[in-house]
Every structure is written in C-alpha cells, then in structure tokens.
Structure 1
Amino acid sequence: MAIEPFLGTAAQKGFIATIIVQAIGVLTMVAISFGIVDEYVSLSQGDYRTIPCYFALFALGELFEIAIALDALRLRNIIQLIGVCFFHAGMIVFSALQVHQTRTALVKMPDADCAIYYANCSGPGSLFNRVEPFLIVSPALLALSLLVLVWFTWQLYHEFGWVVFHIVGANPRMKVMYQYYQVLICLLKFDYFFFTALTMQLLILVLSRDGAEFPLTIVAIPVSLILLTFCAVAVQREIKWLMTISLVLMLGAQAYFLYKFSRLFTPGSREAYATTRASLAVFTIVSFLMLFATFAVGLRCFADFDKDLRPAKTRASKLNPEPRPVSKYSVNEAPLPGKPDMAQRYSSYGGGVPLAPRMSIE
C-alpha cells in the first residue's frame, strides 16, 4: 500500500481548493468594506485605526490558514488538518466580532441625521449600513466552507492513516507517543499566529509609544517566537535541558497573558481598550488556552524522551513523498518470479525498515 504523493488525490486537492476559494471570497468582501470605509473616514486617526488593523489581521489569518493547510498535506498530518478546521471555526468567530468592532468604530452618533453625519450615524443610509452586508457575508462563507473542510478531513483521515504506520510501525505504545508529538508540533505552529496577532493589536491600537510597556511588548514578539522554535527543536531532538527551559518560560508567558487580560477590565486601563476589548479578550483567552495546552502536551512529550521515538521523529520530517509500496505478501512467503524481493518489504513493527531475506520451509 503506497502513500499518496503531495496533492496527488482528489481529497487533498479538494481540501486546499476549498480554503483558497473561500479565502478569495472573504478577502474580496474585506477589501470592498475597507475601500468603502476608507473613502469617507481617515483610518489613521483615533478609533478608526481599529478597522484597517482588523482587516489586516483577517487577511493574515487567511494566508496563514493556506500555508498551514499546505504544510499539513505535505506532512500527511491528520492532526494538523483537524487543527486547521478548528482554526477555521475561530475565523468565523473573529469575522462575527469584526461586524461588532466596525460598528463600534464608526457609529459615534447613533441618533444623528445620516444626511449630515453619514459616517458616524446608524440605521438606513449610514456608512455602516452600507458596509454591513459585506461584513456579514464573510462569516457565512466561512461557515459554509467549514462543512466542506470537515468532509474532506474525514476522507483524508482514512488516506493518511497509513502514514503513522509507515513511520512508527504497528506498536500501539509508539503510535500513542508519536501522536502526542504531532499534537505538540501542531500547537506550536498555531501559537505563532495567535501570539503575533495579539501583540500586533496591542502595539497598533492600544499601547502608547511613550510608555514603558510599548518596548517590552516589542521585545515579547521575538522572545515568544524563539521560545516556540526552541521547544520544537527540543522535542524533536529530545534535548532535555532545552525542553526544561522552554516549559519554564511557558509558565511565565501564561502569567503574562493573565496580566494582559486583567488590564482589559481594570478601572485604570479599561478605557484604553474600549473599541478593542472584544477581539483582544478573545485573542488573549485563546492564546492562554493554546499555551496551556502546549505546556501540558509538552510535559507528556518530555516524559516520552529516551523511549526510542527519536528516529521516528526524524523519519517523519524527511518523509519521502512517494515511498515504495508495502508488499501484500506475507513476510514468511518465499519470493516468486515477478514478486518483490523480501529485502524490499517492510516489517509491521519496524516502521518502514526493510527486512532481511528469509527462507521458507513451507
């Protein structure tokens, strides 16, 4: 049984095509909304800055989803594909929040005459009323495409099930350990996006450049990315001291997210987050939960160090797109003319390691 090549099946092509098509549709709606709003208000001033920031983050999220989906298909990683579906569901929530945030930024005088205060009133004939349909289309497209993605993921679950067997063999204990490793690597990849998105919002929308918190937040971006990279290297190569440092720093980062979340609602700072509280709260909570899950799974993977899983991790990172098929013949069967030699067959417990020839006594 052969492992299908990258984008070599209808399910793989359908999965990535669905993401690309919906991304084009959603980004078109976002671009139209941005163009309409930019025509009437200055997006570089005051609360209006939230609009281009949210639109930019939405575009970044769509591009990230395409990249992470291609990476999952390349690695034949069904866990990462499931993560893409959850991320897509999160994009639905974010797009719904975008409607609320845009309204908060634009509608300053809800009862004003729209003939005079077109950009800041609400109701028929207002600027928000004009862009609202385009904003609502986005979550609708995302929800519809999510159903299609879930269906293709189910198809790919059966297609990619052979890959884990090819890498770690049929040993159930090794399979469980490898799945935890896959989950950790998947979480680290999504952590990149959520950490970066949260920090960008804080820098662009909230923090004053004259405050001490501004440079600290800038420093937090590379530190977070380095932390995640070190954790990925440590778990793949099973470097205990580096994994220990990574886990300890994760605890500090969780405390930082709790502090940021409290700042959204404390009396001394809540006014600064008036137009950004909803999205920042969601991103902070998700980032905290993602990091907590990363820490928990990281501990589980740390416990699996020195249990013969490292070769499988290395083999997975260098997975051949078109490995040789596994023979359908028994390992005890003598080679016959036209059949592959026993040295080319794979052991069910060897994770793709060729077996030496054996003589049949039958």
Structure 2
Amino acid sequence: MVGIYKPSSRWTWSFLLIALVQAIVGLALEAYVFGKYQFAVDNEDRTGPEDNSGQTVTALKNAIPTYLSVFMFGFIYQLLLVYDALRLKNTIQVIGLCVYNMGILVYAAIQIDQLKDNVDRLSEKNILGLNFWSSVKASLIALPILMAVGTMFLVVVTWKLYDEFAWTIYKHISADLRLKRRYLTYQIYIALLKFDFFFFLGFTVQFLVIVTNTKDVEFWLTIAAIPVTIVLLMLAAYWTRKENTVGMIAIIIIYFAAMAYFLFKLIRMYSNDDRANDYLPARRMLSTFAGLTIVLLVGTIIIACMCTHNFNKGLKPHVDRRGGVGNADEVKYQTEMPAYGGSPAAQPMPSRMTID
C-alpha cells in the first residue's frame, strides 16, 4: 500500500510550496470578495424586473459567487494535481500544471471585467451598494498579479525538476526509444484527461447556475452530463491501459461529440437571436472555458489516436502491471518504465506504474 508522499528534493519541495502559497493567498483573496458580496447582497437585497436584455435578476445575483467558487475550486484541484504529479514523478503533468496556471491567470484577468459589468447592473437595480466595487477591486487586481508571479516561479522550478526526473528516467526507462515514445504518449494522454475534467466541470457549473432561461430538458441533460463525464474519463484511462481498441474508438467518437457541443455553445453565445442574451452575465467566462476545452479536446483526440495506434506493441506490461519491489522511495513512487531486458517477468517492476 502506497503511503503519504514526502518530497525527496529541494526542487520538489519548492514546487509544492509555491503551489501551496499561491493557493492559500488566492483562496484568501477570493474568499474576501465572496464574503463582501454576500454581506452586501444580504443588506441591500431587492427584487427587480428583468432588464432590457431579458436577463433575470436571479441570474445576475448568481453570477458573481459562481465565478468566485469556480476559481477557488481551481486552486484546490491544482493542489491535488501537484501532489499527484510530484508523487508519481510525472514530468508531463508538471509541465501541464504550468500551462494550467497560465489558464487560471487568464481566468483571473477576465474575471475583473466580467465582475465589473455584473456589479454595475446589480448597482443599477439597488441590489449592491455603490461602494462594493471599490472595496473588492484591489483584491481582484491582485489575483492575476499573484498568478503571473506564481507561474514564473513554477516554470523555473519545472525546468529544474525536468533535469531531476530525467535522471530517474535514465535509470529506469527502457533503452528502446520507440517504447519510450509510446509511454510518453500514454503519459500525455492521462494528464490531458485530468485537465479536461476541470475545464468541462467549470463550464458546466457556470452554465447551470447562471444561464437560467434554459429548457428543462437541456438543464437536466447538462446535470446528467457531469457524472457521465467522470465515468467516461475513467473508462478512457482504463481502456487505454488495457489496450481496448473498440472502447477507444467509442471514446474518440464521444470526444468529437463533446467538441461539437462546445462549438455549438460558442456560436449560440455570440449569435444575434434572443437566446444569446441568456449568456450575457457569464459570456466572457463561458467563452474562455469553452475555448480552452475545445483546444484540450483537439489535443486529447490526437493523442488518443496515437495511443490507439500504439496498442499491441509491447507497452501494455509496463502500464498494466502493479506490484514488485518497493524498497526505495524513488522506485516505489516511480511512474516511468523500468529497465527492460528479456521478458517482462524477469525484471523488477515498480509498485506504481500508471499515472491515472
């Protein structure tokens, strides 16, 4: 049984501490804005008619706490991925976390203008006091600055970790370069699945809470999509590890359907019909999440096809077997492939071979 991971070098400690400090400060800033908003709404709550665009007051009131909640969940989810990447010594996921941090930076920057628009509309309806924005503006501006500084530090430490993990790869990975590339493709695919989950969930939650003028069928289908997505992502990882071609073909088809869904939502958000007005309180945020999700889906489809192409070429024993020696922490938590010579059974296998 794998115990609690303890960073084994100053660079793994540094990466973990940077992510932790960034999360603590970011959560504190977001919690402050969240608390100020709830206090302001409770003290000056009013009911009002729909505005000229047809958007209800309820949607406007729900928008701000939803943005803040998604942002806070993003920090918590990042900490889980950081722990997972360092424990598994997964270079690909560490690099992906730097890109993820940049994505949150973009979200933080867009959040300022989106919240300002919503605050102005709520102030016009006497739901928020005029001094609310001035009390939270500094905190909102500090967030993208925090993310920019955090990203720079993470990139520097990632470069050091790449060198450190490369030594581990040198000691444990197969001398067969083709097998090495196949395993790298597998690692990229599993890492993409983890990031896909966050951006899909972020889009779905914002859509459900803020876009209130949806038909009942669409609303309930969107809710049902959340658990279905979790199951599908787990199956995607499982079928890749088991080299199930039929399952992977089915998953790739679902990826295309998901991409079509997000493209449809983007087109609807910026169309000229009345339905586009329903997205106004969250259009910038939803556009950001939909755009990033589409980019991730394109990458996921490409890597999924490459993984499927690599089936039955000698990789399965390395990603499917568990158990073996675990005397040293470096071997115990290793996710790269062991030295390989002769039959798989003749070589010691790490106790942790997959990154899912």
Q: TM-score range by the shorter chain?
A: 0.7 to 0.9
Deviation at 1:347, TM superposition (A): 5.3
Q: CA 1:265–1:323 in structure 2 vs 1: closer, same or farther (change >3 Å)?
A: closer
**8 A contact 1:48–1:106 mirrored in 2:** no
Alignment match, 1:237: 242
For structure 1, which runs of at least 5 residues remain unmatched after alignment?
Answer: 326-345, 356-362
Residue 67 (structure 1) aligned to one of 80, 97, 105: 80
Distance 1:305 1:34, change over 3 A: same
Q: Greater CA deviation, 26-35 or 292-301?
A: 26-35
Q: TM-score, normalised by structure 1?
A: 0.82
Q: Residue in 1 aligned with 2:15?
A: 15
Divergent runs of 4+, >6 A: 316-319
Cα-Cα RMSD? 2.7
Q: Quickly say closer, same or farther: Cα 1:75–1:104, change in 2 above 3 A.
A: same
> Aligned-pair distance for 1:319?
8.9
- Alpha-carbon distance change, 84 to 48 in structure 1, aligned in 2, over 3 angstroms: same
Instruction: Call closer, same or farther: CA 1:348–1:312 in 2, change over 3 Å.
Output: closer
Alignment of 1:322 with 2:329, yes or no, is yes
Question: Residue 20 of structure 1 contacts residue 66 of structure 1 at CA under 8 Å; is this kept in 2?
Answer: yes
**1:1-362 pair list within 5 angstroms:** 6-42=6-42, 45-108=58-121, 119=128, 121=130, 126-208=131-213, 211-266=216-271, 267-314=273-320, 320=326, 322=329, 354=347
* Offset at residue 285 of structure 1 (A): 0.8
Q: d(CA) in 2 for partners of 1:315 and 1:77?
A: 18
Kindly tell me: are residues 127 and 324 of structure 1, through their superposed partners in 2, closer, same or farther at Cα, counting changes over 3 Å? closer
Shift of 1:262: 1.2
Displacement of 1:316 after TM fit? 8.0
Shift of 1:31: 1.2
Query: Counterpart of 2:270 in 1: which secondary structure?
Result: coil
Match of 1:329 in 2: none
Task: Give deviations 1:122-141, integer Å, cap 9, x for gaps.
Answer: xxxx3212210011111111
CA distance 1:89–1:317, shift in 2 (3 Å)? farther
Q: Which has the larger radius of gyration?
A: 1
Task: In structure 1, give the amino acid aligned to 2:261.
Answer: Y
Q: Contact 2:59 / 2:212 at 8 angstroms: preserved in 1?
A: no
Percent identity over the alignment is 31
Give the AA of the match of 2:37.
Answer: V
Higher helix share: 2
1:108–1:120 contact (8 Å) kept in structure 2: no
TM-score (norm: length of structure 2): 0.83
1:330 aligned partner: none
